[in-house]
Amino acid sequence: MTGSQAYIDDVDFNIAVIAMPLQIANPAVVGKVERLARVTGLSKTAAVERAVDQLLRELEGAAEPAACMRALLAQLDRIPDRADAFDPLPWGEAGLPE
The better pLDDT of the pair 17, 82 is held by 82
Check residue 97 and report its DSSP letter: B
Residue 44: the pLDDT is 92
pTM above threshold 0.75: no
**Three-class SS of residue 76?**
helix
Phi, psi of 65 (to 5 degrees): -60, -35
Residues 6 or more apart whose Cβ sits within 8 Å of residue 2? 16, 17
The better pLDDT of the pair 5, 32 is held by 32
Domain ranges of the chain: 27-78
